Structures are given as C-alpha cells and as structure tokens.
Amino acid sequence: LGKTSAIGLGCMGMSYAYGAADEQENIKVLNRAIDIGSTFWDTAISNEILLSKVLKERRNEVFLCTKFAFSLGQNGEISILDTVGALAELVKEGKIKYLVLSECSAETLRCAYKVHPIAAIQMEYSPWALDIEKNGVLEACRELGVTAVAYSPLGHGFLTGKYKYIDDFEPNDFRRTIPRFQGENFNKNLEIVHKFNEFARKIHLSPEEISEIRKIIDSIEIFGDRYNEQLLKLLDG
C-alpha cells in the first residue's frame, strides 16, 4: 500500500455502531491521530461526513480506505470479475488509487487478482478469530503480495476485558446483534477473555500488545472505538 502506518484507525464507531458518539471529541481524536502519525484510516458510508470535517484541511496527510455497496457472489447477478473490471477503469481514470476487497475467500481473491492487482483485503483477524490462517486467505495474500488489513484485532473490544455483561453495551450498540455476544455465548466467551488476560499479565503485556505483536508482520491492524484516551495511547504506541 505504499508508506502508511502499520496500525490504522477504524472510524466507524465515531459515527455509529457503538452507541452515542460526541462529534467534537471525535474530531479532536482524528486530528490527534494525524499528529502522532496514525494516518491509515478506515471509513464507510455516513462516517465519511465526519472525516470530511478534518480532511478538508489535511487530506494529503491521510491514507483513506473506504467501502461501497455489496458485490453479489456466484448466486447473484454481478460477478466479482465484473465488479473488479469496473473498478479497474476508475483506477485508470485516476479516481481511485488501489483496489481492496473485504471479507473474501482465497478463491475470490485469486480470481479478482487476475483482472486487476488487489492491494489489500480486509478481514477480521485476532487471537479470537484466526479463520484466515486456516482457510487459505492469509496464504493467498502472501503468495500474491496482498496486504492483509485486520479489523477488530481486539474482538470488537471484548478481548480487553472491559465488558463483563451484555448490558455494558449501549442499547443501540451493534454488538448486541452478534451471536458471540448473545445469551450463553457471552458468558462462555467471557471465560476465554479471562484466560487471555491472565496470560497477558503473566508475560507483562496488555491484550492490545499481544494482538499487535502476533500479526504485525503480516498485516495492517485497524483499531477503533468512540473517542477515548486509551485509543490515542494505543495509536501512539
């Protein structure tokens, strides 16, 4: 992807998904992120409006990654080959710089790469979600020279040990809709979190540091939440 920070800033939670957000505080976080060198930002849809309030003055300082719509798969009307082909035309026109896929299989990545080079893929990757190590996706990335952009490296914040009960999530927090946070799954996964944090303490590292060290060789990691000092500390680390 060229020269960019290895730890990225996930901006989604600054606009929606994790409950209420303070726009002015988030603008401060965004400016501070640039100041400390965290210049790889991941955004989408309405969150772009918030980012525009910072980027109108500092656009050249940030490597911006955004998403759009859905590309229907093999059972849909539009193939990945057609989608990548259309986006390749936008690259030629200079409207976008790189093509990135999100939540794709190794097969889809290889097919897309035949049409146009894919700079990166975005997948969930954390000590809690190791699927890309087992399903061939990480292997395909290494084979093709594609950067893996890991989102939710702390399991949507759960691996920090901050959340003890489902009601620790605000009523409109999207995590309430994820099966791993529902019913008995929450309690069983909380036991895993306790063991993970115990291990972190034994080796004198934080859960964030373990997640970062484990994958930094293979990927860019996207950390994100609503505004808070802990997020800035992590980005500055």
For 9-46, the pLDDT digits (tens) are 888 888 877 777 788 888 988 998 899 888 899 998 88
Residue type at position 102 = S
CA atoms within 13 A on the CB side of 22: 6
User: For residues 132 and 106, what is the distance between their CA atoms, to the nearest angstrom?
Assistant: 9
Q: What is the pLDDT of residues 168-212, one digit of tens each?
A: 998 888 899 999 999 999 999 999 999 999 998 998 888 877 766
Q: DSSP labels for 96-149?
A: -S--EEES--HHHHHHHHHHS---EEEEE-BTTB-HHHHSSHHHHHHHHTPEEE
Sign of CA dihedral 180, 142, 4, 113: negative
Higher pLDDT, 14 or 4: 14
17/97 Cα distance (integer angstroms): 28
DSSP state of 18: B
Radius of gyration of the chain (CA): 18
The predicted structure's pLDDT at residue 212: 66
pLDDT computed for residue 107 by the predictor: 96
CATH number of the domain at 7-236, out of 3.20.20.70, 3.90.1150.10, 3.40.50.150, 3.20.20.100?
Answer: 3.20.20.100
The whole-number average pLDDT for the span 47-54 is 93
| The model's pTM | 0.81
- Residue 220 or 95, more confident: 95
Asked whether the CA dihedral 134, 135, 136, 137 is positive or negative, the reply is negative
pLDDT, tens only, 57-109: 999 999 999 988 665 555 666 788 999 999 999 999 999 999 999 999 999 99
